[in-house]
Amino acid sequence: MPAVHHKLLLEEALQDSPQTRSLLSVFEEDAGTLTNYTNQLLQSMQRVFGAQNEMALATEQLSKQLLEYEKQNFALAKGDEEVINTLQHFTKSVEELNSLHAELATQIADKMVFPMVQFREKDLTEISTLKEIFGIASDEHEAAMVKYSRLPKKRENEKIKAEVVREVAYCRRKQHQAAMQYYCALNALQYRKRVAMLEPMLGYTHAQIHFFKKGMELVSKKMDSFLSSVSSMNQSIESQLEVEAEVMRSSQRELLSVDDTVYMPDHDQVPVNRALIQKAGYLNIRNKTGLVTTAWDRLFFFTQGGNLMCQPRGAVAGGMVLDLDNSSVMAIECEDRRYCFQITSPNGKTYGDCACWICTLNNISRQIYLTDNPEAVAIRLHQTALQAVTPITSFEKRAEGSPNPDRYEHFMKTKHIEPQKPPTTLEPEDLIVPGTPIQFDIVLPASEFLDQNRAGARRTNPFGETEDDDDSLLQQVFAVRFLGSMAVRAGHTQEVIYEAMRQVLAARAIHNIFKTTESHLMVTSSCIRLIEPQTQVTKISVSFQLKDVTQFAAHQENSRLMGYVLQGSDWSDGGEDQPSFSVFVFESNTEGEKICYTINLGKEISEAKKDPEALAQLMKSMPLTNDGKFLLLESETGDEAEAAGPDEQESEA
């Protein structure tokens, strides 16, 4: 190391000559420059430490994030075990690298940042402090000398002179001591600043070398084979991607090489496939916008089983537009649209938008999709036909095609009800007269409302007790929505209920009647009442007596639907011997089977009342409440109905 040529001489500290002061100013300027540079260098070192510390935190977060891949719920490529195992192996390697980065950050803090901070806080601060002490001592010495110089020569006071002399001596000694300490610190700073510049960088370099050595040891000994296998896997994936990309490019070129007529709406098509039983595509459907105005909406239609489904753009799933069973399809001419066809439902109402759609819908209307080999049947039936013919409806086929044909029969047997089976399969015309009107709502007449609410009258309370002792054994209330009722020919078969349900739902879809009002259906041991929830007024003037309910059933596929047949008297021939039947269809919040079970229990109680022993036996076999009533399922009109509020009284049918 080269020698230091310039230093402050301690021998000259007492004399404090101008030459010494000039040299001292050079040393002070050098110390000030060193202080400024040290502050900037320390900021750079702290930035390096911060970056390394952030690197350690970042690698720690990276290792945690790699483990999260396995927990992601990817819609595609689920169960990619190879990638998951590889990422887990990478996680272990990143954790080891994270420990190395954390150790490197600690060494940088200890061996580079800390020595520089110590040099600034100890040496440079000491220089600054000694400079202030030396300045104060010099000022005091200068003041003492001025005081001594002003002593009068005449009338000299020996006592005052002695005191001033002692003060000058004390200040000169104090200045001498401060000067020597200050000079020694400035001389030593010339050596310490060199060490202060080299020591942090030496520690930083050693820390980096230690980090690289451990990193190379980790990579070379533990990860060589692993990295080679990962590289091979990546190359395999890239080659597969290239092959797939080439296939897609070829498909693109092939699909784009077609003639421009393919994009034209009226281009020549291949011969009509008359054996289709499924079809999907965009169609324009005409909807009423007013009394006489209509509008066309372009929607995506598809067939599903025996139904025509529709799905608007952006919708998650489609909804049913029409039950195609027992429908007819034919091509029609339309003034404002081309290639239209018309679907006619059994009650004469039509739907409108060619050859493939017509054939497909006709195949579905014939219920070919329920056969064992639908395509063969379709080919045989459509060898020469193009337009639709009247379809065949069979309840037996519908039961066979339902998801669970034995569901309702199993329920009826568990509830001790034996369903009546007709000896032969009945056609819809045998059950319901074609064109029979359907009533979609039950409105309470104004006069009847006044009769039930005039003074002295008592409203029906579905949650309390009534004055009728016959109803004291059973009172069960269900939240239902009345869908419709219609006159029927047969009253002792469940098929008439199923056919009435189908016609009521189809009529609601055709007439766009989707809103229904919620009511309370009360089943007692003697009758059935339909009650207005807000006013607690019975909607029908005469309650339905259980003895007049000849048949009841829940829908085989949609258990929320239920209906029952009510027997009345036909006075058209001048007498009441001729019975008449009507079917009432409801939708409930819970399964309709519960309502059917309650009606059956009411009929059993009504029959058992004729025989006290039978009634007692029935009460023993059924659990009872504390007030002696039959214990059934919880009522649907409890807290849930009250919490629904008035805004939810309207629902979709």
Q: How many domains does the chain have?
A: 3
The answer to whether residues 32 and 119 belong to one domain is yes
CA–CA distance, 569 with 344 (Å, rounded to integer): 34
Can you give the CATH number for the domain in which 325 is found?
2.30.29.30
The answer to whether residues 144 and 91 belong to one domain is yes
**Using an 8 Å Cβ cutoff, are 528 and 548 in contact?**
no
Name the phi and psi angles at 556, rounded to 5.
Answer: -70, -30
Q: Provide the mean pLDDT of the chain.
A: 76
Q: Is residue 578 part of a domain?
A: yes
Can you give the CATH number for the domain in which 36 is found?
1.20.1270.60
Domain boundary among 219, 246, 272: 219
Q: Which of 42-56, 99-113, 220-234, 496-510 has the lowest mean pLDDT?
A: 220-234
Domain boundary among 169, 194, 219: 219
Closest CA to 385 of 268, 304, 272, 270: 272
pLDDT in tens, 97-112: 889 999 999 999 999 9
Q: Is 0.85 topped by the overall pTM?
A: no
pLDDT band at 180 (very low <50, low <70, confident <90, very high): very high
**Using an 8 Å Cβ cutoff, are 555 and 595 in contact?**
no
Q: What is the DSSP string of 55-97?
A: HHHHHHHHHHHHHGGGG---SSSTT-HHHHHHHHHHHHHHHHH
Domain region containing 337? 280-386
Name the phi and psi angles at 518, rounded to 5.
Answer: -75, 140
Q: Is residue 102 part of a domain?
A: yes
Q: Is residue 492 part of a domain?
A: yes
pLDDT band at 347 (very low <50, low <70, confident <90, very high): low
Helix or strand run (H / E) with residue 578: strand 578-588
Q: Where are the alpha helices (DSSP H) in 223-312?
A: 224-256
The answer to whether residues 285 and 201 belong to one domain is no
CA–CA distance, 399 with 594 (Å, rounded to integer): 21
Closest CA to 491 of 411, 584, 575: 584
The answer to whether residues 166 and 103 belong to one domain is yes
**Using an 8 Å Cβ cutoff, are 101 and 63 in contact?**
no
Q: Give the amino acid at 494.
A: Q
Q: Give the amino acid at 531.
A: I
The answer to whether residues 127 and 205 belong to one domain is yes
Residue 109: DSSP 8-state: I
Q: Is residue 151 part of a domain?
A: yes
CA–CA distance, 566 with 543 (Å, rounded to integer): 11
Residue 104 CB: number of other CB atoms within 10 A? 23
pLDDT in tens, 134-172: 999 999 999 999 988 888 877 778 888 899 999 999 999
pLDDT in tens, 597-649: 888 888 888 787 777 777 777 776 666 655 555 555 444 444 444 444 444 34
Residue 629 CB: number of other CB atoms within 10 A? 16
Q: Is residue 229 part of a domain?
A: no
Six token digits for residue 148: 């001594």
Q: Give the amino acid at 259.
A: D
The answer to whether residues 292 and 195 belong to one domain is no
The answer to whether residues 380 and 433 belong to one domain is no
Find all residues with CB under 8 Å of 266, minimum gap 6, and list them: none
- pLDDT computed for residue 54 by the predictor: 94
Closest CA to 349 of 377, 323, 376: 323
CA–CA distance, 185 with 192 (Å, rounded to integer): 10
Q: Which residues pair with 587 in a beta bridge?
A: 481, 561
The answer to whether residues 25 and 110 belong to one domain is yes
Q: Is residue 636 part of a domain?
A: no
Measure the CA angle with vertex 222, ends 221 and 223; round to 5°: 110
pLDDT band at 445 (very low <50, low <70, confident <90, very high): very low
Domain boundary among 192, 219, 246: 219
The answer to whether residues 382 and 437 belong to one domain is no
Find all residues with CB under 8 Å of 172, minimum gap 6, and list them: 14, 141, 144
Averaged over 578-591, what is the pLDDT? 84
The answer to whether residues 28 and 170 belong to one domain is yes
- pLDDT computed for residue 263 by the predictor: 75
Six token digits for residue 325: 């069973």
Q: Is residue 5 part of a domain?
A: no
- pLDDT computed for residue 651 by the predictor: 37
Distances (CA, A) of 638 to 170, 185, 222, 419, 537: 104, 93, 68, 32, 18
Closest CA to 507 of 612, 573, 585: 585
Q: Is residue 174 part of a domain?
A: yes
Tell me which residue has tokens 């020591």: 199
Six token digits for residue 344: 């006619």
- pLDDT of 542 > 50? The answer is no
The answer to whether residues 193 and 61 belong to one domain is yes
Distances (CA, A) of 59 to 91, 274, 473: 10, 65, 74
The answer to whether residues 203 and 303 belong to one domain is no
Quote the crossing angle between the two packed helices 18-67 and 158-222, to the nearest 10°: 30
